[in-house]
A and B are shown apart, each in its own frame.
Chain A
Amino acid sequence: MKKITPYLFLIGPLAMYIVWVLFPIFHTVIVSFTRWDGMTKMRFVGLQNYVQLFRDRYFLLSFINNLKWMVGFVLLSIPLGLLFALLMDQRFPGHRVYKTLVYLPMALSFVVIGQIWSWILEPTGGVVNTFLRWIGLSNFAKSWLSDPKVVTYSLIWAALWRQIPYAMVLFLAGLQNVNRDRVEAAMVDGANALQRFWYVVLPELRPAMVVAVTVNVIDSLRAFDIVYVMTRGGPFYSSSVMANYMYIQAFHNYRMGYGAAISVIQFLVTLIFILIYVLNVMKKEEREV
């Protein structure tokens, strides 16, 4: 009896998991092998969608843009988030106020953030260009959201505005667990601030680092809201990402099969990183047990 009880408790959540998570994934994989407009009968076409996908320059562009997002998220939000966390961890007067201010973008939805940044980056009257012209750098004033060369970076920047505080929170939590005695011991031994950070604090932040990196990678691969609100992937797909391209193909062009194939690729890429994350967490738990 004792052995069955946990499974009895699990039935509910498991059933939900199967209906709401596993089945849709399975179904998407099936749809990706068909030609389907979402209304009439599905037609099985084998690997045709995938073959087409790898010849589709806009899909490849979206994929590359996702990689740019990933690099931007990892290389900027992790160090900056860590920097902010270290700053906020100092108990200077009013640190709570600053913490709240930095954290504030986290409380906003991506739609709101997208709208705010659309105004900030507006080419004629937006804050950024107005400021650049005011300090005499009008050459640097750009059409941030319609120049195909810069548009993706503008979007990544807007997303980082929310992502950096997120990383900061993760590191702040990690800093709570840092053993103060060890830091003080290092201080007594004559380690300077940089050495203390590098040899004592940073190693203890490793779990937080693993979480921050994987979460950022996953977030960058599923980017959608900001792109959808600010440019819808335009102009002519230059700022498109996989999720956005899937949305256009499936719900705008009525190509469910093709959209599903994009989702499957996106799923596989993301899965690799989730696996790394999960394996890491499991290893850590084993150590603790």
Chain B
Amino acid sequence: MAVSAAEGIDIRPLNLAAMVREASITALVVFALAIGLVGFETLDVPGGVAIRTRFADVAVVMALAFVGRIALILLREHRPRPVLIVAPILTAIMLVLLLSETIFGSESGAALKRFMPFHDPVVLWGVVAVTVILAVRAAYAQTHVSSSLTLEERDARMDRIGAGVQRAARLLGPLLLGAAIVLPFMPFADRRVLDIGVLVLMYVMLGWGLNIVVGLAGLLDLGYVAFYAVGAYSFALLATQFDVSFWVALPFAGLMAGTAGVLLGFPVLRLRGDYLAIVTLGFGEMIRVILLNWYSFTGGPDGVSGIPRPSFFGLAEFSRSVPDGTAFHEMFGLEYASIHRIIFLFYLILAMALVVNVFTMRIRKLPIGRAWEALREDETACRSLGINPRNTKLTAFGIGAMFAGFAGSFFATRQGFISPESFTFIESAVILAIVVLGGFGSQIGVVIAAVVLIGLPEFFRDLQQYRMLAFGMAMVLIMLWRPAGLLAHREPTLRLFGRDKKPETNS
């Protein structure tokens, strides 16, 4: 019998038959999943579609699932030693195979490659990652007294970590801000990095805007992208039809989106929870369909093109030569570089996002902001305290929509072209996912979630279809470990008398 470092842990004799049965069931489930997804591949051939079978791959997948399950059972039964031996060996073999061409030269390397179970390097690295994780877990189990925490204990621990991160966030916030400010001047900050930065910041801004509606006021809004669209089209049409500049149109676009928010909010805000979510989803789609079909006004599916780029606060343009006016590089005596515009856009969206953040932080301390939070907790109690729930909700809805409108006009001026395709439901879902994964109401959580959900997939665009797999994986993991969101810990905003001590436990 294996001697575990743990004492007092009940080590039952291994039931081999049960083990094999459990692993077989796992392999069977994998078979059911893999036979369709992996077993058949459709190929484009001249004159139609052909099907290629990949039954060998299915068999390999099943074998891996079987072995992996056995390893998990052994870990569960406090017998980490066999896993500790086998997992590193498997890892080593896989690594040798993967790196064979580098190690042995291309000729014998290619010969070895034939022994690899799959042909896609990403899948192979995935297998390596799993074996490494198993090995680490086995090593941990071997050296530590295994303590199986209950769900509550784990939750409490994660909450403590959340609270710790929240406290660290006071440092993390300025740190991230500093990083964002110096980013354009870093040597690695090429056009691609900055473009990703702008994109992430756009979603941070949208996330912070939606956080007012969902996180603070607790109104589940699935049609947030509608106000983003209203802002974008307001600016695009003003700019192309009436030649209004970005800086003049920006407040107007926000106003239009805010008004749309209030108008849509008025009839729907008597609904709560799921019902509100469904109606807002419908309104979001309605706006998109209107944009799509009102051809004479919005250009329908053709969209609006030729939207002017923002100028440097109306003082200078970002182009090589300006016929009547100043060019940015001439104004500052620089060499012309197309990246100047990107850097400007980066700072612009950073500033806009920060405005939303500062606004939210301030308003949370004001009666209206606290009324939003109270409304989220208990609407009936709020009413009996003299709060008008309808007006309070409408302000949250309208202000959230206004910020979406600002972000929308930034989107329009950045892209230079907009069409209804940019404002589909999936956008609303992604923004909502950022808020939910960040932890309702947490400002820094939104930033982290935006980086994880928008930045990483963009950065790993090379991985092609596995990108979305990683997106899904991130979602599943967060919901497993942190169902209330990454940083779902609420700090009181009111500290009175300036000498607030830790709450006393006895009195």
- Do A and B pair up? The answer is no
| Chain B residues near A (Cβ < 8 Å) | none
| Chain A residues near B (Cβ < 8 Å) | none
